[in-house]
Structure 1
Amino acid sequence: MICTIKTSGNNRILYSCVTAVPFLIFFILCPFITRAQYYGFPRPVPANRGAELLTGLKKSKADSDRVNILLDLSNLYYNKQQRKDADLNTATRYADQARQLSAKINYRPGFGKAQVRMAEILSDKGKVTEAEHLLPTVTDTTRINLLLALSYKSFYAADDITDNYYKNALKYAEQARDSSKSLHQKVKEIIARTILTHYRHYGNYPGIEKDYNDIINECNQVHYPYLEYIYLPMYIFYMDNGLYEKGFELAQKSFELEKKNKDPLALADCYSALSRFYANAKQQQKSIDFLKLAITQMKIHPSMFGNKIPETVTVISSMLRYKKRDREALAFLQKSIREFPADDAAEAARYEQELGRCYQKIDNSQAEKYLLKSYNYLFKKKQAFQNDHFEMAQFYVETRSYAKAKPYLDRIFKTVKQKLPLSRRSNLEYLAYKVDSAAGNYRSALTHLSKNKALDNLYLTEKREHDMQDFDVKYETKKKEDQIKMLNQKAALEKGDMQRLTLVKNVTIGGILLTLFIAFLLYRQSAQRKKNNQVISQKNDLLQHLLTEKEWLLKEVHHRVKNNLHTVICLLESQAVYLENDALKAIENSQHRIYAMSLIHQKLYQSEDIKTIDMGIYLPEFIGYLKDSFGTGSQILFELNIEPIKLGVSYAVPLSLIINEAVTNALKYAFPDNRAGKITVYMYRTGLIIRLIIADNGVGISPAKIESPSNSLGLKLLRGLTEDIQGTIGITNDNGTRILIEFEIDTVMNSLAS
């Protein structure tokens, strides 16, 4: 891992206290520095979608939809929190299935995404070179995604800035940037430039801050919303260069953007960034609190920047040790190891390394056991870095096992190629002095001690010069800012005086003109209003007169219609004297129907509201008429429950004829041999739906007659009249005949027809 590019010691420092604290703070946050990149492809699939995706997979066909489900499943298992080897194998299986199916159906987008996922998996298994061989199989945007992934994985695999992995990380990021430009993929270009600038920071390239600012300016121009992914690596640059205020400002901005965008992917990283700031500010408890928040967030969603819970746990333990709370650190670490077991042997080795550190103040034999076991594994796997060599050497010097410390110091002097910070070099020289002194090699010991003092002096000199330069710059800057501020204030005062004079003059002239204009408008509006009011008053009088006349005319029409209908009834009664049997029945039925319509017109001209009929008043009177006409007496009871529903003529007439037919048929046929019975009529409203129920407890209508086409005039009338009001009719035989009619009131039709 490339954390050796920026290295430091732990809290058991044996050299001058001048350099101890900065190294500690940098060391304990090394995991966040080494893995803070985001290459943007693709976003993790939440773990709670697993069941849904597996169900979709079972139902899917061999098409592009199935490929996408396979890719989502591979994504889910690849990004699973606390991922195990079995999860990585499952992700591999789904990605390979997606790749094979995509090739079979010639689905190029799916094939490209599967290749990128396979490259990530191969890299995580330590097969970065094999992953690189997939690059010729993809093109266009997918090639950019693969280049970004290879760049990230190569950087993560690098031991230091001198090996090929680091060089490949730069190369692939540059290729991704250039391809994005040629394909006009602005977002991909931003991502490529961000991670390239981040990698160059570790290589001590010049112009890093300018490159970051250029990227941010372009992001603002294209309205790129995820600026936190630029702010976080830029934050690392500022923190590494001691610009803590700028770093803290970016950490806060990142946190606010995460909340604003409701994007939880980098929330854990924002907490980690704030933690590092408070660690540098020597507010360790706040730093620990933010790290614990980061762990809580990582349990919900993995860190977008590659941080893992075990790494964060060891950082918290380190900070507790720094506060001399070794036993608390040990208890926290042991509890966390049970809750968050290591994903692989390398992670387990780092846990053991931290256990060894915790035991250093408690039990040296236990400390040596864990530190040695961890170091041997890491060294065997070529994952032991400069800091690991240094830690072992320092432990043995502290425990006065000087001979054991020497091999580790030799490895640092022989194998570490990059230039170390002055404070680390000074510390190494001091450790070498202690080892050589114990071995009786006094000449070499004096040489190392001399170098240690020279490096300490050089460090102090550089720091003093840096502080003086910084002070001079701040002083000159402040002086110029004060001068500029005074000149600006003077210019602002003069400009303000001129603007006030001009404003007073303009406001005075404008006020006069505006007053005159408003007065003219008010006068004109008042005259127009008076004229309009006169015209409106005349028209209102005319309309009221016409409305009154119309109502009287309508009442007269209804009255004459009612009289004419009564005349028709009388004529039918006169004719009925000379008729018998069917002809007589037809005349009587016609009389009832005509009376129903006549009664409606009578109610209309007798009412103040000549447009609608109150069915709650009309129907009881009409049904009473039918009862009297058939002379049922007390033999047949009527149960009425009719709500006061007002309807226009277009609804009232068909409904009255329907009730006439239903009640008449019940009176004639439902109760043979003068048997007693009951007829119920209900009418009520539910929303815009009106329901009319006419039922009896008589012998009931024949089911065959209901279901088959009938020539009965009564049934035809019932169905036809129901259609007239656009309703539905249902006739059932359940201990008697039951007729249910439902219709919806068309308010426009009801008002117009009235």
Structure 2
Amino acid sequence: MKVRALVFLLFMFMASTIHAQKVEERPEHELVRLKTMPADTARIATLIDLAEAYEYMPYQKSRTDTIDMFLKEAQMLNAKFRVNKFRDRIDILAAQTAYDRNQSLDLKELFLPIVDRCRKSGDTLGECLAWSQLAVNIVRGKEEIQFKLYCFEQALQLAKKLNDRERVFDIATNIADIHIWQGNFSLAEKELLQIINPDQKASYMSLLFAYYRLSLVYVKEGNYPHALDYALKTEQTMRLAADSSYAYDFYIRIAEIQKDLGNLSESLKWAKKAYVFVVNGHENPDIIIKAKSEVAERLLDLGKPDDALKFVLIAPDEYKILDPSSRLLYLSLVGDCYQQLKKYPLAEKNYLDMIALVRRQKDDFSAREIGSGFQSIGSFYLNIHQQNIAKPYLLEALKYLKVSGKKNDLKRNYLMLFQADSAAGNYQSAVSYLQLSNQLKDSIFNTEKNKQIQELQVSFDTEQKNRDISELQAAAKLQKLSLRNLEASRNWVVLGSCLLLVVAVLLYRNSLVAKRNNQLIQKKNQSLQRFLQEKEWLIKEVHHRVKNNLHTLICLLESQAKNLKDDALKAIETSQNRIFAMSLIHQKLYRSDDVKTINMAEYIPELIFNLERSFDLADRVSFNIDIAPVFLNVAYAIPFGLIINEAVTNAIKYAFPVGGGTISVILYQYNNEVVLTIADNGIGMPRNFNEHTNQSLGIELMRGLSQDIDAEISFETHDGTRIIVTCLPRNNFDKEALIVTGNGALATLIEH
């Protein structure tokens, strides 16, 4: 009866791990930040994160409306920046929201086009997320389960390609979960044991759910010692991970295993833990009634029906808001309470109401839920000696428990069928049922397993006794020490006084030494600070002199240009712009407190302004500049500046032969990756243009500069020209690499 809650929780876990293996801010914090964020790529990322955060909350119409609002704004902003990764994440969330609203939609039509587009654009992460989200939404049915498995396997291959270990573990756990549902326990066990292998170095969260599913595998197989071992490991790992989100399921698993082992008091203790957890967490009524049922069942097992009934009873209004599974569980449990209290008419009424609910809403229940319901009413009629009524219910229960039931449930059902046939005089049938029950009993509790169970219990009891013995021994030792202290108190006082005097002398000496050392350290720190300041001033002076030398070179070129015409004059002007791009870098560095990095949001607009002024554009060409506050060191800033210089110069010269136009320069950073886009709405490149074979100096320079910083450069020639440079700056980049290389782009630039 807990299958639906478990499926929902497993879905929530899978979605949350796919969302990101990072610590995320709470949605309310993100909302506060969003109010002050400009309309840039960082705002798009925040809007997507907020939409995902709301997607993992319990379903409500207002929730989907909020998600739509975030996605609509993100789509509008991304239409300007055209970041493929953003577009794919937005589309995946939009497809999920559409399916949440209307689950009659075709999942394949929603997600497979996104998968195909991500594959074509090379967005491996987006493709992996789309496959995973498609798999999560597929209902477990005999026909659909193979496609669900296929989707997860596709996502697994992509996660391996991304080298995302935690995503690999997460998807592998979901695949194992499918194999458990299919009854392929040996394959599921193999997959889960691979995840918890120490060599894999899985995170606590990956271990947590692998342990949890392993305990389920061993319960299904009837291997209760292993089941208890991994259930306890789950609870221990939960505490190490400091994440109690799924504590209810973990506590219930331990409670159920302890019940099957016959440890009813231990089972009650864990069931109460689960109930306290859901009440403190203000869970919905369905989860609370499930937690109540576990406690009440343990009380019934311990022969306390009055306590169980008082604990479980709810008001009619509360019953009306329960889902079908919770109603089934509640009616069965109340019937069990009245049966133990020997109030048989009341018990029968609740059982019959339960069966009517099952027959009326059969599709809303799992096979195990239906089987447990029929078994409950069959057990009731058997208990009041109405075997003829009991047997049809028990046979109906057997049909469903064979599909999805624990071995303990089957064993109990066969035993009750034996009792029913024995009472009715059907001895041949009764013997066959008894044999089946004994076979299951032997497979569950053979000698070796009983020994392991006893060892686990003995180990627990021994640990408890050892703690008690240790406490008693400590108390005895304390008493003996007290007696000895009384006898030797005079000697201890004298010795203590001497020790205090020695300690005082040592402390005084240490304080003098520490004082001298502190003074020495302070002097050295001051000296180092002075040296550091001198070094920074020297670096600033170097940048200042380089800037002055470059400026002198620009002036010399300007003087030379007065005597030149046509192509020679254009070459001189182009060189002046290139030198200015480098000179501006050094100017920014020596005027800044930070002599290592350049704020591109300040540098690029000034560079564009110089180009606009040097070409005397007036109002013929307008500029759309959107630069995020990205800080780059000089090794990256110079190539980016020169690429912008070349691209904008070419656009000004050739993009608008007739009339005017717009040139856009956009730079942003996403996931540590810096993306530069220079675009115009001019006539575009020639039809036969090939970026790989084109030998023009400008294209060759831009390719060379990109190679120097390990960047990717691409050219798009429809609707004007668009140049996109993508680079992942490295912190330990050798700042001199671009200067000393003899065959790099800067060397090429100097030669020309």
Q: TM-score, normalised by structure 2?
A: 0.47
Higher relative contact order (CA 8 A, sep 6+): 1
State the structure with more CA Rg.
1
Q: TM-score, normalised by structure 1?
A: 0.47
